[in-house]
């Protein structure tokens, strides 16, 4: 007999001290009337030799608990975010071996073609599990039932093993808003972080010796018939998932794209809030604006020093500037970069960040931007096509207004125009799929060319401030400071001259852009 094919779960990666605190919180919030059950679980995850199931987001498990064996198949639903959304099918079996004869057609479709003799053990998981059901009565709606599980154990695969320590909360019945409220209470002031990495995924990662790589935000494919609220759910879910995916890369710090992609996702959410500002009650999103600003700012210094090393200094090599002086300057910058990454790690391991990711996940899962109750007349539940032109026109008009005297502006004054341009770019990225055609492609091409120019302009503007900060930080502790200051002057001069050479092209790109017809309406 199979269970309903649905699972909604929050998984927290946590230290032992965090797990103890979360266990107490479970007892205090509706679970104190019964004892925790304890069991030893031994699970084997099966796959084909080429790991076809894992690559499709499917986990095929046979788990032993006491004398009972259960075959479970789970498939990701790719709904985004940090919560685990999975279809789930369970079948009692006689022994710890896969039995494909029990698998029904719907499950087979999720798995793809797999022959019985192809399945072989791939990952083994041994955990000691403590489990309890939480029941909270609700006089004004459905009762809330949640299963809490605390797992400590080991995942084995590819001749290697990794320890796991986690708390799982699974919604059995009730409303998601109440579930997230309980989850926040259970998380409390711990630094336990949401993770979208299952035990199976942890095991299959052991087959690959590579460090986790940075993940780019996938392209948004919004549709005409989606409501604005559906579009927001898509955007926020995708961005939160991307942030969580890039956490380990940013913490590790050896791949500079980790922090960069994390910040891109944060910036996209901030821009989204700005784009829909007139459609959303500010009291519902005020907390989010502040928290996203904090996270973006905390990642900023690491990104700035990454760019300084990988671009500002790298491009001047071989242009007649003393390479020994550049290397010495690079070593000074590495000290500041190392400290900036300490801030990254402090931020991503903090209670504030852990709570933000959980709140963000609850925010988009419950569509927290919607008023309750919501009527059919509210703009957020109207089709996206009814608002798309407005959502594009608003940042476009602001950009044109800020850039009216672009040719006469000083470099610092152009920064405001750059920010407006970036907000328009995000709006276009979100909505371009609604307007297929040559006009859209031409507009986007000119927009991207102009944004690249503004990006370089901003990098050059930052050089002077960062060098001043660098010498102020190392004041009195630099060997041969005169030589290094001379090198920095040459670096600034090289980039200033290059920017000067690009100025005419920059203004041409601006003219090309502002004379390009908008694709969302005729004329302007």
Per-residue pLDDT band for 523 (boundaries 50, 70, 90) equals: very low
85: left (phi over 0), alpha (psi -120 to 50) or beta: beta
- Confidence at residue 155, expressed as pLDDT on a 0 to 100 scale: 97
429: left (phi over 0), alpha (psi -120 to 50) or beta: alpha
Instruction: Give residues with Cβ within 8 angstroms of 372, minimum separation 6.
Output: none
With tokens 């459905």, the residue in question is 142
CA 304 to chain CA centroid, nearest Å:
20
Q: Residue range 72-81: average pLDDT?
A: 77
Q: Are 217 and 268 in contact (CB under 8 A)?
A: yes
Q: What is the rounded CA–CA span in Å between residue 16 and residue 165?
A: 7
Range of weakest confidence among 73-82, 155-164, 246-255, 260-269: 73-82
CA angle centred on 248, ends 245 and 252, rounded to 5°: 145
With tokens 């790991």, the residue in question is 51
Q: What is the rounded CA–CA span in Å between residue 367 and residue 233?
A: 7
Residue 85: strand, helix, or coil = strand
The percentage of the chain sitting over the pLDDT mark of 70, rounded to a whole number, equals 94
Q: Are 333 and 302 in contact (CB under 8 A)?
A: no
Residue 514: strand, helix, or coil = helix
Nearest to 137 by CA among 176, 188, 100, 174: 174
- Confidence at residue 78, expressed as pLDDT on a 0 to 100 scale: 62
Residue 63: strand, helix, or coil = strand
Residue 87: strand, helix, or coil = strand
Q: What is the rounded CA–CA span in Å between residue 71 and residue 90?
A: 6
**Residue 260, preceding bond cis, omega within 30 degrees?**
no
- Confidence at residue 360, expressed as pLDDT on a 0 to 100 scale: 95
Q: What is the rounded CA–CA span in Å between residue 403 and residue 119?
A: 62
Range of weakest confidence among 146-155, 314-323, 401-410: 314-323
- Cα torsion through 57, 2, 180, 169, rounded to 10: -80
State in Å, rounded, how far the first CA of the chain is from the last one.
61
Token code pair at residue 125: 């998981």
Between these two residues, 293 and 320, which has the higher pLDDT value? 293
Q: What's the pLDDT tens digit per position in 357-388?
A: 999 999 999 999 999 888 878 899 999 999 99
- Confidence at residue 471, expressed as pLDDT on a 0 to 100 scale: 83
Q: Residue range 269-280: average pLDDT?
A: 93
Angle between helices 351-365 and 228-252 (to 10 degrees): 160
Q: Per-residue pLDDT for 321 more than 50?
A: yes
- Confidence at residue 104, expressed as pLDDT on a 0 to 100 scale: 87
- Confidence at residue 4, expressed as pLDDT on a 0 to 100 scale: 42
Q: What's the pLDDT tens digit per position in 193-203?
A: 999 889 999 99
Angle between helices 323-348 and 228-252 (to 10 degrees): 120
Residues in the chain: 524
| Dihedral pair phi/psi, residue 139, rounded to 5° | -70, -15
Q: What is the rounded CA–CA span in Å between residue 64 and residue 2?
A: 17
Q: Residue range 220-228: average pLDDT?
A: 86
Q: What is the rounded CA–CA span in Å between residue 257 and residue 213?
A: 8
Token code pair at residue 60: 């095929």
The whole model's pTM is what?
0.89
Residue 158: strand, helix, or coil = coil
Between these two residues, 215 and 473, which has the higher pLDDT value? 215
Q: Residue range 381-398: average pLDDT?
A: 93
Per-residue pLDDT band for 2 (boundaries 50, 70, 90) equals: very low
Structural domains of the chain, ranges and CATH numbers in brackets: 7-205 (2.40.320.10), 228-514 (1.40.20.10)
Q: What is the rounded CA–CA span in Å between residue 361 and residue 365?
A: 6
Q: Per-residue pLDDT for 524 more than 60?
A: no
CA angle centred on 284, ends 197 and 231, rounded to 5°: 55
The percentage of the chain sitting over the pLDDT mark of 90, rounded to a whole number, equals 62
Q: Per-residue pLDDT for 453 more than 90?
A: no
- How much of the chain is in helix, strand and coil states, percent to nearest 5? 55, 20, 25
Token code pair at residue 339: 């400290």
Q: What is the rounded CA–CA span in Å between residue 425 and residue 420?
A: 9
Per-residue pLDDT band for 513 (boundaries 50, 70, 90) equals: very high
Q: Are 224 and 264 in contact (CB under 8 A)?
A: no
Q: What's the pLDDT tens digit per position in 322-356?
A: 777 788 888 889 999 999 999 999 999 999 999 99
Q: What is the rounded CA–CA span in Å between residue 524 and residue 521?
A: 7
Token code pair at residue 455: 């990006």
Q: Residue range 412-420: average pLDDT?
A: 87
Nearest to 188 by CA among 344, 367, 14: 14
Nearest to 70 by CA among 51, 91, 54, 53: 91
**Residue 115, preceding bond cis, omega within 30 degrees?**
no
- Confidence at residue 125, expressed as pLDDT on a 0 to 100 scale: 97
Count Cα neighbours of 91 within 13 Å in the Cβ-side half-sphere. Answer: 19
Range of weakest confidence among 63-77, 289-303, 422-436, 497-511: 497-511
CA 212 to chain CA centroid, nearest Å:
14
Q: What is the rounded CA–CA span in Å between residue 346 and residue 353?
A: 10
Average pLDDT, rounded, for the chain:
89
Count Cα neighbours of 219 within 13 Å in the Cβ-side half-sphere. Answer: 7
Token code pair at residue 445: 């091409």
- Confidence at residue 1, expressed as pLDDT on a 0 to 100 scale: 36
Token code pair at residue 508: 């041409």
DSSP per position, 380-403: GGSBGGGTHHHHHHHHHHHHHHHT
Nearest to 192 by CA among 365, 3, 349, 374: 349
- Confidence at residue 3, expressed as pLDDT on a 0 to 100 scale: 44
Q: Residue range 425-445: average pLDDT?
A: 92
Q: Per-residue pLDDT for 499 more than 70?
A: yes
């Amino acid at each position: 007999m199979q269970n309903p094919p649905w699972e909604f779960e929050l998984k927290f990666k946590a230290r032992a001290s965090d797990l103890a605190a979360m266990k107490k919180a479970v007892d205090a919030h509706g679970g104190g009337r019964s004892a925790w059950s304890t069991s030893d679980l031994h699970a084997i995850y099966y796959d084909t030799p080429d790991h076809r199931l894992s690559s499709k987001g499917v986990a095929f498990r046979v788990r032993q608990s006491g004398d009972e064996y259960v075959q479970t198949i789970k498939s990701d639903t790719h709904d985004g975010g940090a919560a685990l959304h999975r279809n789930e099918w369970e079948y009692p079996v006689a022994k710890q071996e896969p039995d494909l004869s029990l698998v029904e057609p719907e499950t087979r479709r999720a798995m793809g073609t797999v022959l019985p003799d192809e399945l072989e053990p791939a990952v083994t998981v041994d955990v000691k599990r403590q489990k309890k059901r939480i029941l909270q009565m609700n006089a004004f709606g459905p009762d809330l039932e949640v299963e809490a599980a605390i797992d400590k154990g080991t995942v084995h695969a590819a001749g290697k093993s990794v320890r796991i320590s986690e708390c799982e909360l699974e919604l059995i019945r009730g409303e998601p808003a109440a579930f997230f409220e309980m989850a926040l209470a259970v998380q409390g002031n711990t630094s336990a972080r949401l993770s979208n990495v299952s035990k199976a995924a942890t095991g299959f990662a052991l087959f690959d010796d590579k460090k986790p790589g940075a993940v780019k935000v996938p392209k948004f494919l919004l549709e005409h018939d989606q409501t604005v609220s559906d579009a927001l759910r898509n955007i926020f879910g995708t961005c939160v998932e991307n942030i969580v995916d890039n956490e380990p890369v940013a913490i590790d710090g050896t791949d500079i794209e980790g922090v960069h992609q994390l910040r891109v996702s944060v910036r996209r959410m901030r821009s989204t809030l700005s784009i829909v500002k007139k459609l959303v009650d500010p009291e519902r999103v005020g907390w989010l604006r502040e928290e996203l600003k904090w996270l973006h700012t905390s990642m900023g210094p690491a990104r700035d020093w990454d760019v300084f090393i990988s671009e500002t200094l790298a491009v001047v090599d071989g242009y007649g500037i003393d390479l020994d002086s550049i290397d010495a300057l690079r070593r000074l910058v590495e000290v500041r970069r190392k400290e900036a990454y300490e801030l990254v790690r402090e931020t991503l391991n903090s209670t504030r960040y852990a709570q933000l990711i959980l709140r963000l996940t609850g925010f988009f899962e419950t569509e927290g931007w919607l008023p309750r109750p919501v009527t059919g007349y509210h703009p957020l539940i109207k089709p996206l096509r009814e608002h798309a032109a407005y959502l594009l026109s608003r940042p476009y008009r602001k950009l044109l207004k800020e850039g009216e005297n672009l040719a006469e502006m000083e470099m610092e004054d152009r920064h405001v125009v750059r920010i407006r341009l970036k907000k328009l770019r995000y709006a276009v990225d979100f909505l371009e799929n609604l307007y297929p055609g040559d006009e859209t492609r031409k507009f986007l091409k000119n927009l991207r060319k102009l944004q690249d120019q503004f990006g370089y302009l901003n990098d050059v503007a930052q050089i002077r401030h960062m060098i001043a900060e660098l010498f102020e930080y190392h004041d009195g502790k630099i060997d041969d400071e005169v030589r290094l200051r001379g090198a920095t002057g040459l670096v600034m001069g090289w980039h200033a001259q290059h920017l000067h050479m690009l100025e005419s092209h920059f203004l041409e790109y601006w003219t090309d852009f502002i004379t390009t017809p908008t694709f969302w309406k005729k004329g302007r």
